[in-house]
Amino acid sequence: MRMDMFDLSGKVALITGGSRGLGRRIATAYAEHGADIVVASRKQDNCEDLAELLRTEFGVKAWGIGANVSHWSQCDSLVEGAYTLAGKVDILVNNAGLSPTYDSISEVTEGLYDKTLDVNLKGPFRLSATIGARMATAGSGSIINVSSTESLYPTAHALPYAMAKAALNTLTLGLVQAYSPAVRVNTIVPGPFKTDIAHAWEPTTFQSIAEATIAMSRAGEPEEVVGAALYFASNSSSYTTGAMLRVDGGVFGAFR
């Protein structure tokens, strides 16, 4: 009965940033629950490697498409490629993102600013606009935007990223207006997770920060995002749209 609540059999999910981190874990969970998967990220080889693993391990159809979603034309090519290969997209997960480092706000270059906004916001906008329209025509679909607690508690060391993610939250609400009632659009708001980015964290420093800013005093494990991702993708959330679900261990202050 619990499996039926999150059954994705017959669905096709397109996941950007899908070859690593939270995107990879979401792709694996969707395949485990019966969905066919289109894995998209900048590196074609990584996408194809994960697609092969999903086909072998779960017996689903899976494809890898290399695409840099910061480019409008590559978003359009990704959409056309996904529909050509899979025939449809039922679930879009806008997970691709990046947060470049800098020493001070005054030293943020135009290139860094544009790159951050393009990946975190331009890509989700273009993919959601085009795929959302097709979903609406087909009569159903689910778009899931992956934001960040930086959108709620912005910090000086990640301000362009926080701005982009805050705009992504707004995009969710606008898409609800554009494509309801056929298409549901929701947002997952993760806190810090132990993905590959965690390798750069100094353990003692991170722990002291976590204790000061996170109710659960720790970072999340990648599998802890799965419940939210399955909920929004499946019929379990049939009456949920425009929602913003924090999966952050109870972040209550800026993560400095």
**CA 74 centroid distance within chain:** 18
pLDDT of residue 200: 66
CB 11 within 8 A of CB 233: yes
| Residue pLDDT, tens place only, 178-198 | 999 999 999 999 999 998 776
Beta bridge partners of 38: 14, 63
Amino acid at 105: I
CB 220 within 8 A of CB 214: no
Instruction: Please report which confidence band the pLDDT of residue 1 belongs to, taking 50, 70 and 90 as the band edges.
Output: very low
Provide the percentage of residues in the chain whose pLDDT is more than 70. 96
Model confidence at 256: pLDDT above 80: no
Task: Give dist(CA 28, CA 60) in Å, integer.
Answer: 11
| Residue pLDDT, tens place only, 58-89 | 999 999 999 999 999 999 999 999 999 999 99
Beta bridge partners of 16: 40
Q: Two tokens at 10?
A: 């017959």
Specify the 3-state DSSP secondary structure of 203: helix
* Active-site residue list: 161
Domains identified in the chain and CATH numbers: 2-247 (3.40.50.720)
Give the HSE-up count for residue 19: Cα atoms under 13 Å, Cβ half-sphere.
19
CB 247 within 8 A of CB 225: yes
| Residue pLDDT, tens place only, 33-60 | 999 999 999 999 999 999 999 999 999 9
pLDDT of residue 205: 79
Q: What is the widest separation between alpha-carbon atoms in the chain? A: 55
Beta bridge partners of 247: 190
Provide the percentage of residues in the chain whose pLDDT is more than 90. 88
